[in-house]
Amino acid sequence: MMTRVSQSLRSFTSSASPSQLNHSLVERLRRLVNSNDLQRAFSLFYSAPLELQSNQAYGALFQACAEQRNLRRGITLHHHMLSHPCSYSHDLFLANHLITMYTKCGKMLYARQVFDEMPERNVVSWTSLITGYAKSGNEQEGFSLFSAMLSHCLPNEFAVSSVLTSCKYETGKQVHGLSLKLGLHSSIYVANALISMYGRCRDCVAGYEAWTVFKAMKFKNLVAWNSMIAAFQCCNLGKEAVGVFMRMRRDGVGFDRATLLNVCSSLYKSSDLVPDEVSKCCIQLHCLSVKSGFVTQTEVATALVKVYSEVLGEFAECYKLFVEMRNCRDIVAWTGIITAFAVYDPEMAIHLFGQLRQEKLSPDWYTFSSVLKACAGLVTARQALTIHAQVIKGGFGADTVLNNSLIHAYAKCGSLDLCKRVFDDMDSRDVVSWNSMLKAYSLHGQVDSILPVFQQMDIKPDSATFIALLSACSHAGRVEEGMKIFRSMFEKPETLPQLNHYACVIDMLGRAERFTEAEEVIKQMPMVPDAVVWSALLGSCRKHGNTRLGKLAADKLKELEPTNSLSYIQISNIYSAEGSFNEASKSRKEMETWRVRKEPGLSWTEIGNKVHEFASGGRRRADRDAIYKELNRLIGRLKEMGYVPEMRSALQDIEEEEQKEEHLLHHSEKLALAFAVMEGRRRSHDGGVAVNVIQIMKNIRICIDCHNFMKLASKLLGKEILVRDSNRFHHFKDSSCSCNDYW
């Protein structure tokens, strides 16, 4: 190739003037560079006579190295230039090209060295280096250089817009003032940079300052509209962001992918939008995405999936949209849909993860993080073990965050041994690692294990650490130890109790029937009690039959969360327990008036790698009759052992004792246990392996009657029964429970 280039040059040089030769070489270099043939361009340049290696030729090649981020060739060319007899080392034109090349290749020290050695500089020199500092995120150096520039030359619109890209609020305001003084604020580049700068401040005041800049613009391009929407979104002003988008549509301004992504972000990141507004805007965005064809782009479709799932809770529509993405689903899209279902439908999330693997895609860190969240919502640790193996195989076995997620998942699935194994094997632990282990012990009521772990912590505890400790003390009835921990939080400003800590303390005192102290703590709170605090107090009042305080807590909870069924149901139960059925009926009717729906009691158990769901009364089950038959047989044997239904747990206004008993006996966890026993016997007859532990998960707190039922059943069946309710785990074995009947 070198020979062909040399021959071509010789044939041309014999008949052309030096200026023609120089111009021709530069044009040839540019053509080769534009066709991405950098190798031939450099071969042509190095084979040319030294007198033809002009600054224009050097400039064309330095520019190519900058655009292609080819640092190696750029450095070689720089060394070649320094050895050139014409000595272009002080050439302003080439020095500016060198600064640009080094900054674009991320070598700010090299760029600064070239800049410092320049005998003269122009506005391009300053702007190029300022731009480099801005892109590298070095705000301090960029702003210092911009300030120094002012004593040498006036900045242009590009210098101002460059320094603004990394400015924080105070420095940005100063640059804004300078742009007004120099008349550069009318430049569309400066105005867009100002809007983006104010948006990055993530403050409502800054958001409205961005709006002032936007309104003053005489000409607004699409970048300006997108920047304004993004600024409002970053400042948690979602309603305003949507308003700008609507105005944009009314004015006939087009949109692009960035517009749709910014508006979607506003819908699921802002807290000032109501569901109806979000729903209406989401439908419009979806329609526009379909009409414009942007819905086929993975990022847009994934953003819409996030809005449908996280904000609107429309998972059917969310999945439908994902299915329509069939031809453009990458790992980001798969991770998005798995994240959407991780909490709402963990089994579906696991199924989607399996499909991802079938499509030969490799899960990344985010995918594993999402699917492990789904594992935490399952009955057993079977799926978590499978995902754990894939995490190790994928090269993430030492990742601290994923190990923390594994500890959480194993804890929620009832396996403390696996939690401890992961924790002990970790090479490095952060505060979340320790908190995850503390929460695991708390969830299983092992307060004797949690305190030694806390004492071993070699990292400064945070807010979540104390929540785990206080919860453990609350569940175990260790009030004095819990109050000692609570009081210790006042010793340092960084550990002062927050709302969640007060809620734990109220729960702890209420469970111990120390209502006078609980009331005093509420009165002394430095902040207004929230719904969690009143819920904790109400639950304790229900347990101990404190009607006066229970009514107060219920009324406060209704004020804060009028659509939360807990306040109506708990006070109704309190009234029913003391025989005030008229008052209980009023509370139920109030629920109907406000159209508040009670969360149905559901339980799940896993048999043969399949999860089975049970509702109170056996609804949704085709095999209900068989389950009832098994349950009645079980009840009969338990009554022989002394089981007596706890009628106070019949929480509705039921007058007949027989009706109350029937209501109690059809609670969902009892049906789940009967089904597990029935299936276990069938599988044993078929030659299957006997199961020693029956695991049941329940979405609400287990009642006293079901708790007594499970204790006796564990002795009758000779098996451990592990029940996870909304608060904690109950390990039933040989007629006793790990909670020591304190929950």
What phi, psi does 723 have (nearest 5°)?
-115, 125
Residue 45, pLDDT > 90, answer no
Residue pair 149/130 in contact by the 8 Å Cβ criterion:
yes
How far is Cα 710 from Cα 733, in angstroms, rounded to an integer? 9
Q: What is the mean pLDDT of residues 497-522?
A: 96
Residue among 59, 38, 44, 51 nearest 2 (CA): 44
How far is Cα 567 from Cα 46, in angstroms, rounded to an integer? 83
**DSSP for 497-532?**
--HHHHHHHHHHHHHTT-HHHHHHHHHH-SS---HH
Residue pair 685/640 in contact by the 8 Å Cβ criterion:
no
Q: Confirm whether pTM is higher than 0.85.
A: no
Residue pair 101/65 in contact by the 8 Å Cβ criterion:
yes
Strand partners, 693: 720
Q: Tell me what pLDDT residue 665 has.
A: 77
Residue among 275, 232, 228 nearest 248 (CA): 228
What is the β-pairing status of strands 720-724 and 693-698? parallel
Q: Identify the band that residue 271 occupies on the pLDDT scale cut at 50, 70 and 90.
A: confident
Q: Tell me what pLDDT residue 609 has.
A: 85
Q: Tell me what pLDDT residue 368 has.
A: 97
Q: Identify the band that residue 717 occupies on the pLDDT scale cut at 50, 70 and 90.
A: very high
Residue 641, pLDDT > 90, answer yes
Contacts of 13 (CB under 8 A, 6+ apart): 21, 49
463-506 pLDDT per residue, tens: 999 999 999 999 999 999 999 999 999 999 999 999 999 999 99
Share of the chain above pLDDT 90, in %: 67
Which helix (H) or strand (E) segment is 298 a member of? helix 298-306
The 3-state secondary structure of 325-369 reads CHHHCCHHHHHHHHHHHHHHCHHHHHHHHHHHHHCCCCCCHHHHH
Across the chain, which distance is largest between two alpha carbons, in Å?
Answer: 117
Type of residue found at 419 = C
Type of residue found at 736 = S
Residue 357, pLDDT > 90, answer yes
575-605 pLDDT per residue, tens: 988 888 899 889 988 888 888 888 888 999 9
Question: Is the model more confident about 341 or about 86?
Answer: 341
Residue 7, pLDDT > 80, answer no
Residue 153, pLDDT > 50, answer yes
551, HSE (Cβ side, Cα atoms, 13 Å): 7
Type of residue found at 4 = R
- The sheet with strand 720-724 has its strands ordered as 610-615, 602-607, 693-698, 720-724, 729-733, 736-737
Contacts of 404 (CB under 8 A, 6+ apart): 430, 432, 433, 436
Type of residue found at 206 = A
Residue among 742, 671, 740, 738 nearest 414 (CA): 738
Q: Tell me what pLDDT residue 86 has.
A: 67
Angle among Cα 708, 710, 712 to the nearest 5 degrees reads: 75
Contacts of 581 (CB under 8 A, 6+ apart): 575, 653
Residue 654, pLDDT > 80, answer no
Q: Tell me what pLDDT residue 653 has.
A: 45
How far is Cα 355 from Cα 533, in angstroms, rounded to an integer? 42
